[in-house]
Amino acid sequence: GNSVTQMEGPVTLSEEAFLTINCTYTATGYPSLFWYVQYPGEGLQLLLKATKADDKGSNKGFEATYRKETTSFHLEKGSVQVSDSAVYFCALTQSSRGGSQGNLIFGKGTKLSVKP
């Protein structure tokens, strides 16, 4: 079945460091790929998305490229801030021959802590 695997955390970085959170997926058809972020005590917020191969999603300095050949959607940011401390989830939506299925399948989440 469809699944998402992302790197285990927690990840601790100093402010202004480079961030990479790896995400790979297994899916049939043509999934859309998402990164969501969850701040303490809150629900999920969309960070970025890509809906087809080679698309690059970007937002707030974060980027991820949909790589079909490596089934990956790694999240990167060139210079993290303390305010980026949160849990990051990689996710996909399925597609099926019978039509679209919009339910999200999530990775386990990666907790990021950024120290001043």
Partner 1 sequence: KAGVTQTPRYLIKTRGQQVTLSCSPISGHRSVSWYQQTPGQGLQFLFEYFSETQRNKGNFPGRFSGRQFSNSRSEMNVSTLELGDSALYLCASSPRGGRLETQYFGPGTRLLVL
Question: Cα separation of 62 and 12, whole Å?
Answer: 17
Assess 88 for contact with partner 1 (CB under 8 A). Answer: no
Which tokens go with 23? Answer: 């995400």
For 97-112, letters b (16+ CB in 10 Å) and e give eeeeeeeebebebbeb
| Tokens read off for 105 | 């399948």
The closest of 106, 105, 101 to 29, measured between CA atoms, is 101
C-alpha span between 62 and 106 (Å, rounded): 19
3-state SS, residue 82: helix
Q: Which of 10, 69, 98, 103 binds partner 1 (CB under 8 A)?
A: 103
Q: Does 3 bind partner 1 (CB under 8 A)?
A: no
Q: Is 93 in the site for partner 1 (CB under 8 A)?
A: yes
Nearer CB in complex with partner 1: 1/116: 1
* Of 21, 74, 89, 114, the one binding partner 1 by CB under 8 A: 89
Site string for partner 1, 53-82 (x = CB under 8 A): ------------------------------
Residues 11-50 that bind partner 1 (CB under 8 A): 31-32, 34, 36, 42-46, 49
Interface positions with partner 1 (CB under 8 A): 31-32, 34, 36, 42-46, 49, 51, 89, 91, 93-95, 100-109
